[in-house]
Amino acid sequence: MKNIKPLIFMSFIISIFSCAAPQDRYNTQTGALLGAGIGAVAGQAIGRDTHATLLGAEIGTLLGSILGNAADQNAAAVKEAGSRQAVYYDNNRGNLESVPLRQQNPCRKVTRRIWENGRMVKETVEEICETD
């Protein structure tokens, strides 16, 4: 019993500090949290046991974080289009770089470069239009 109190305390501290995230990763964490909840409910409804609930939570977390990360990258590109400055988005595996091109209309062209492990794997030019 003496060994369990420090473990509970450390898990509480880790959970508190894991909630503090940079603002540019907000959708990734929100997507992971919502995906875990929805996946757990779906897993329980389908499998009706603990194993199915945990599996649903894991799959939901993965899918939610992927969708949230895509939303964060899109938000970075929109932010860049409005500020007309280059935006760099860094995650654990790779980087995204959006560089604006000179435009005079409400739609802006952006060069988007995706880097993985220090090597550029994709470069595209996208048009982002601001909506009112």
* Identity of residue 55: L
Does residue 38 lie within any of the structural domains?
yes
What's the number of domains the chain is made of? 1
- 106 occurs within a structural domain: yes
Domain assignment present for residue 17? The answer is: no
Distances (CA, A) of 100 to 61, 64, 83, 107, 108: 33, 29, 9, 11, 7
pLDDT confidence band for 77 (50 / 70 / 90): confident
How far apart, in whole angstroms, are the C-alpha atoms of residue 99 and residue 94?
Answer: 17
What percent of the chain has pLDDT above 70? 60
pLDDT in tens, 4-23: 767 667 766 666 655 555 56
Q: Are 2 and 39 in contact (CB under 8 A)?
A: no
Q: Residue 82 falls within a domain, yes or no? A: yes
Q: Is residue 47 part of a domain?
A: yes
Look up the domain containing 41 and give its range.
22-129
pLDDT digits (tens, 9 = 90+) for 33-47: 888 889 989 998 999
Name residues whose C-beta falls within 8 Å of residue 19's C-beta, 6 or more positions apart in sequence.
none
Domain presence at residue 9: no
